Structures are given as C-alpha cells and as structure tokens.
Structure 1
Amino acid sequence: MIAIGQDLQVVVFGLGEEEFALPVGEVREILDHRPAFRMPDAPRWLLGLTDVRGTSVPMVDLRARLGLEGADTTLSTRVLVVEVPIDGGEPLVLGLVVDRVLDVSSFGADAIEASPDIGGRWRSEHLHAILRRGSGFIALLDLRRIFADGEAMLIGRMPPAAAA
C-alpha cells in the first residue's frame, strides 16, 4: 500500500501527453510490444493473451481501461508486466500496454500528494496520489481499484487452457 508522507520509487510511463506511474514493486518487467492471442467475447480493453516466459498473461490496453482514446502501436509501445494485488488471493499478473516507458524515478515525501477529486480525463478513485516533478504532475495509478470490478476479475479466472 502506498503511504502519503513516505519516499517512493516508481516506473514512469506515458499514455498520450500524460504521464502515469506505478510503484516499482508492482512491475515485474518491461517488454517490447507483441501481438496478443485475441479472446472471443472479451471486453474491448482486454487485448488477449501473450506468452511471458512460458506463462499465459492477459494483455490489457491501459488506454481503453482508463477510458482514454486509442492510439496506434509504435516502436516506443511497451508492455508492463505487473502484479495486481487481489483481496484474499494470489496477485493477478497482467501485461499493460503503454505508449512509452520514460524512466524509473524516486520521489521524496514532499513531492507526493493525495489525489484531488477534480474530475478530468481519469477518475480520481483510480489514483493513489499525484507526484510532482518540476512544474508537472504524474498520476500514480492504483491497479487494485482499476481492476476491482467484476468484469476485470474474470480475467483472473481464465483457465490455463485458454492460452492453448
């Protein structure tokens, strides 16, 4: 859990012109973009399955999941393999497709603020905090909340045979 008032190390990535971050402890690895095996009747944001070191991993269009406009895949497009904490169970492993990975950064407690509820392009309940960098801001995402609904939880119940 992220605590306001403590230092934090994050992976910073971009979706369009906006910058987002995830705690480094939630990111297993960063991969080049790869095509996904499309699943029938999957939600629009679920691109399908991809193989990560012999394991089938659901691949998610993070732009679509956050309600942002779609974008074409480029040479900068990456897949963040993350672990989403699930209440009372094993973490859900997902591949999040992002436009680009910018860096791994550390933020002091004085640069971390609670997320304001001002509306905008993303819902404030999807954020842990706002990180200040220079004159700009980075939204620290809360994966548990982003993937907490029933539709998202279904991907954690896909049988291993679905990747075959």
Structure 2
Amino acid sequence: MSQELKVIVFALADEEYGVEVEKVRTIERMQPLTRVPKTPGFVKGVINLRGVVTPVIDLRGRFGFPETQYTDNSRIIIVGVEDLEVGMIVDSANDVIDVDPELIDDPPEIVGGIKAKYLQGIAKVGEHRLLILLNLKEVLSKNEIVQLDNIEE
C-alpha cells in the first residue's frame, strides 16, 4: 500500500478542494489587505505576516467564480510554491484528511468550470465525497509568480 497523502480540505463555491499539507505554511483568518496597483484582478493585495510581505490572491477570482463577501469562515491559506509564499483566500478551511494516492484519478478536462491544468487530480474520499486536488504550480503560473515576486521588492 502506498503512503497516504495528507491534505488540507477547503471550500470554494460549494465544492471541496484539497492541497497537500506539506505545501501549506499556515492558515490565517481574514485580515486587512493592502491593494497593489497593476496586478491582475484576482490578486487582492499583500499582507504583513509576521514581518513578511505576502501576496494574497482570491481563488474564486482566479478560477472565474463570482466573488462574494468574506465571512467569519473565510480564511487565507498561506502556501509555498517554489521560493514564493502566497496567500489564497478561500470560503473556509475545514479539515485535514488522509487520501489514498491509489484513489486519486486524473482530472477531467474541466471540473466545475476549472481547467484541468489547475488540477492535480480528483480524490475519492469515502463513499460519496470527491475532493478536487489543486496543482499549485499552475494555479500560480510562472508569469504571475514573477509579477508577485515584484510585489515583494
């Protein structure tokens, strides 16, 4: 049996998504964001997180979902992608679960309006639960990472 994959589960537009625990630095409550001019619309700004300026994107905006008001459940999941830390605003962060890698299927072309390149796979969890696993390198593509790098300087 292969090694279980630890995944942080979060909600976005009525779907459940997952990201590998080892890529997550911290999960924060919503906090004031400082807007940065000349960035894509889904880049909401930066936060000062324990002395580190961290760019923050809204995953709803990134995937073309309608944006909503942030609530008490909204969270900023700080993830590490290559040498960059980025915050992703999600509707809520629910859970940490173990996923059997043998129960992860390749993503179909489009899932809930999200292109397959943003997805690592679809995990079957239990009888009726599907978890959409994100491919963080694509969610934050190289060009955008370069743009976000410039924010930090």
TM-score, normalization by structure 2: 0.91
Q: For residue 136 of structure 1, report the CA deviation from its aligned partner.
A: 2.3
Q: For residue 149 of structure 1, report the CA deviation from its aligned partner.
A: 4.4
> 1: distance between equivalents of 2:47 and 2:110?
36
Match of 2:85 in 1: 93
Match of 1:37 in 2: 34
Match of 1:158 in 2: 151
Question: Which one-letter code corresponds to 1:147 in the other structure?
Answer: L
> 2: distance between equivalents of 1:159 and 1:21?
27
For 2:55, which of 54, 58, 61 is the aligned residue? 58
Q: For residue 119 of structure 1, report the CA deviation from its aligned partner.
A: 5.5
For 1:102, which of 72, 94, 100 is the aligned residue? 94
Match of 2:113 in 1: 121
1:97-155 C-alpha deviation (Å, 9 max, x unpaired): 10000100001133211212245410011111111123121110001011114244211
SS in 1 for 2:114: coil
TM-score, normalization by structure 1: 0.86
Match of 1:136 in 2: 129
Q: 1:114 to 1:51 in 2, by over 3 A?
A: same
Question: Which one-letter code corresponds to 1:9 in the other structure?
Answer: K
Give the percent of matched residue pairs that are identical in Structure 1 and Structure 2.
Answer: 30
Name the structure where strand makes up a greater proportion of residues.
2
Residues 147, 153 of structure 1: 8 Å contact kept: no
Alignment of 1:9-48 (within 5 A): 9-48=6-45
Alignment of 1:69-80 (within 5 A): 69-80=66-77
RMSD: 1.5
Question: Any runs of at least 4 consecutive aligned residues in structure 1 with deviations exceeding 6 A, and if so which?
Answer: none
Q: For residue 6 of structure 1, report the CA deviation from its aligned partner.
A: 4.9
